[in-house]
């Protein structure tokens, strides 16, 4: 923890303080004055020269103290770069002398002084970790750990790094009293208490995002250079490179940054990380990197349709908002496949999961669990869950575990004592009352094995998330986006391409200025590294399209 605190609250050198002073402006505050409050957007970054500041978990008299800021130290965390609401309240403990920079001024400073940027960005990331781990934040969720609706909210919060206070109806003795005080029955849970004190019964993700301060305002009359649809590895890579090269970028995702990679317990075959890296950490770092360069990232944001008007692309969002942009990158990834079994829908989020993150793994402690799938994602989940579960059953339809799983994972799984491998097998029945209670596996021999378990993890592939593109760009017979040389013959001879004065670029769809990258693209290699490469490459084509002669 000491190392975390040292990283989270460093003291800047006099040289760095002077460099920030040259880029900002002086400000003096009196003891008790609030610099910015919980829930406030557009707040500034402050370096303390004299005096003392305090960060608190809200403005209420009983708000907890998070940290003190001393001369040479600074305020702020990742929400400042993201343009989102502050999670803390910062006030002056004593009369203080400060240096103030707004978000754009801070971005320029960290770009111009790389060693200072490393200190600031690492501090921001560490502070968010400490907020999450310490349970700081004014968003409280009261519900049952067996509730699909509660799991949906907790999963959304976890993946979006929202600090929450979780109150479990089954295990927290204070839960009943809290519900009585709120005049809420257990049947009406989950209940969310936002930072403003507003209560929401079983809110949608959009309502929860508003309570958590994630929502950002999209200007209807603004024309972006690039809108990235999907914030998985391909979308985040494009966001980083486009924003770092001066493009005006908006990135929208229906759920959270990271995509499927963000739910991986550990990615071990990504270049530059010989010890592997958790998917959540990789994508969190990429998201902050994109925001550091000025990309705007908004979640949850559903894109319903794509059209063209006056030479610009027009995206229609789930709430009817129209977003205009010069280019679009389709990086919307895939949607998870489901098992065709009776009562399957009853247990989604109540025992059936599509990711094995730390949150789900802890729910499995000391229990038997089942993982279905034969790819690397399934293998990584087995390794991760085996550290928590009493036994992990891996169910694979193929008769050879190495048919679609990397050799290093096959060897590792075969060496874990509490893993049982069922080859040539499939799940044929689900049992339970409100929550998954048992799974029946038909073995290669035809015999059926019944396993009492409360968690079933599915990694059986996915389908292209392209319904919003049908009738707009060319798709293959499986619904994946066709690009470049894969487009139907004669595409480049259409009127739209004669007007553009060129043929489609390698990653360009049948519509000029609309590109595709990552898993959603027909023929793509389903690997994190290739998605990052495609997202990065697409930005070069975006530049060429924007700079085309008129």
Interval 153-212: pLDDT, tens: 998 998 888 888 899 998 999 999 999 999 999 999 999 988 767 889 999 999 999 888
Residues 93-131 have pLDDT tens digits of 999 999 999 999 999 999 999 999 999 999 999 999 888
Q: State both tokens at 185.
A: 């029955």
Quote the CA–CA distance of 515 and 328 in Å, as a whole number: 6
User: What is the Cα gyration radius of the chain?
Assistant: 25
What integer pLDDT is reported at residue 548 of this predicted model?
A: 62
Q: Structure pTM?
A: 0.83
Rounded to an integer, what distance in angstroms lies between the CA atom of residue 88 and that of residue 268?
Answer: 35
Share of the chain above pLDDT 70, in %: 98
Residues 6 or more apart from 305 whose CB is under 8 A from it? 315, 316, 468, 472
Residues of the chain with CATH 3.40.30.10: 139-212
Instruction: Give per-residue burial for 517-537: e unless 16+ CB within 10 Å, then b.
Output: bbbbbbebeebbebbbbbbbb
Domain with CATH 2.60.120.10 in the chain: 2-133
Residues of the chain with CATH 3.50.50.60: 223-335+477-546, 344-458
Average pLDDT, rounded, for the chain? 92
What value does the mean pLDDT take over residues 291-300? Answer: 93
Class of domain 223-335+477-546: alpha beta
Alpha-carbon distances, residue 143 vs 184, 337, 366, 448, 459 (angstroms): 11, 27, 22, 35, 27
Which among 298, 300, 292 is positioned nearest to 240, based on CA atoms?
292
Torsion over CA: 408, 332, 337, 202 (sign): positive
CATH number for the domain running over 139-212: 3.40.30.10
Question: Looking at the domain that runs over 344-458, which CATH code has it been given?
Answer: 3.50.50.60
Q: Which residue has the tokens 């309502």?
A: 207
φ/ψ of 545, rounded to 5, equals -70, -45
Q: How does pLDDT run across 17-27, given as a tens digit for each residue?
A: 999 999 999 99
d(CA 410, CA 548): 49
Q: What contacts 292, CB < 8 A, 6 or more positions away?
A: 81, 107, 110, 117, 121
Using CA atoms, how far residue 221 sits from 214, 218, 314, 320, 485, in Å, is 22, 9, 11, 14, 35
Query: Rounded to whole angstroms, how far apart are CA atoms 319 and 382?
Result: 39
* Other beta carbons less than 10 A from residue 75's beta carbon: 23
Taking CA atoms, 293 is separated from 7, 107, 229, in Å, by 22, 7, 18
| Residue 37, helix vs strand vs coil | coil
Look up the CATH architecture of domain 2-133: Sandwich (2.60)
In 3-state terms, the chain is what percent helix, strand and coil (to 5)?
A: 35, 25, 40
């Amino acid at each position: 923890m000491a190392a975390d605190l040292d990283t989270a609250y460093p003291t800047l050198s006099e040289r760095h303080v002077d460099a920030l002073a040259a880029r900002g402006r002086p400000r003096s505050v009196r003891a008790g004055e609030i610099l910015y409050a919980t829930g406030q957007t557009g707040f500034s970054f402050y370096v303390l020269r004299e005096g003392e500041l305090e960060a608190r978990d809200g403005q209420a008299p009983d708000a907890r103290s998070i940290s003190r800021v001393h001369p040479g130290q600074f305020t702020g965390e990742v929400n400042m770069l993201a343009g989102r609401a502050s999670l803390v309240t910062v006030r002056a403990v004593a009369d203080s002398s400060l240096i103030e920079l707004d978000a754009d001024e801070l971005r320029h400073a960290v770009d111009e002084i790389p060693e200072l940027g490393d200190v600031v960005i690492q501090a921001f990331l560490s502070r968010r970790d400490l907020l999450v781990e310490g349970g700081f934040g004014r968003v409280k969720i009261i519900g049952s750990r067996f509730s699909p609706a509660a799991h949906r909210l907790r999963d959304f919060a976890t993946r979006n790094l929202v600090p929450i206070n979780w109150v479990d109806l089954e295990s927290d003795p204070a839960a009943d009293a809290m519900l009585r005080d709120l005049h809420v029955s257990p049947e009406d849970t989950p209940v969310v208490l936002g930072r403003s004190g507003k209560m929401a019964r079983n809110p949608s993700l959009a309502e929860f995002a508003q309570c958590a301060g994630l929502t950002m305002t999209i200007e209807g009359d603004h024309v972006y250079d690039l809108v990235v649809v999907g914030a998985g590895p391909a979308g985040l890579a494009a966001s980083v490179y486009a924003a770092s090269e001066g493009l005006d970028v908006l990135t929208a995702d229906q759920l959270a940054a990271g995509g499927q990679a963000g739910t991986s317990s550990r990615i071990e075959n990504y270049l530059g990380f010989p010890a592997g890296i958790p998917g959540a950490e990789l994508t969190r770092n990429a998201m902050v990197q994109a925001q550091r360069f000025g990309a705007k990232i908004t979640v949850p944001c559903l894109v319903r349709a794509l059209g063209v008007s006056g030479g610009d692309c027009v995206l229609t969002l789930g709430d009817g908002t129209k977003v205009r942009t010069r280019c679009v990158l389709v990086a919307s990834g895939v949607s998870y496949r489901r098992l065709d079994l009776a009562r399957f829908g009853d247990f989604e989020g109540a025992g059936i999961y599509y990711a094995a993150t730390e949150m789900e793994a802890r729910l499995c402690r000391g229990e038997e669990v089942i993982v279905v799938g034969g790819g690397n994602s399934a293998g990584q989940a087995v390794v991760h869950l085996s550290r928590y579960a009493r036994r992990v059953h891996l169910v694979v339809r193929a008769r050879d575990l190495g048919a679609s799983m990397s050799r290093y994972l096959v060897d590792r799984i075969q060496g874990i004592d509490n893993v049982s491998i069922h080859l040539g097998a499939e799940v044929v029945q689900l049992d339970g009352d409100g929550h998954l209670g048992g799974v029946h596996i038909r073995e290669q021999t035809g015999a059926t094995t019944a396993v009492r378990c409360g968690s079933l993890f599915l990694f059986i592939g996915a389908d292209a998330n392209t319904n919003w593109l049908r009738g707009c760009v060319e798709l293959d017979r499986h619904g994946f986006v066709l690009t470049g040389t894969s487009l139907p013959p004669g595409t480049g001879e259409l009127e739209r391409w004669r007007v553009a004065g060129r043929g489609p670029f390698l990653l360009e769809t049948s519509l000029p200025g609309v590109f595709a990258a990552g898993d959603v693209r027909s023929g793509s290699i389903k690997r994190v590294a290739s998605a990052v490469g495609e997202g990065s490459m697409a930005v070069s084509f975006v530049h060429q399209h924007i700079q085309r002669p008129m």
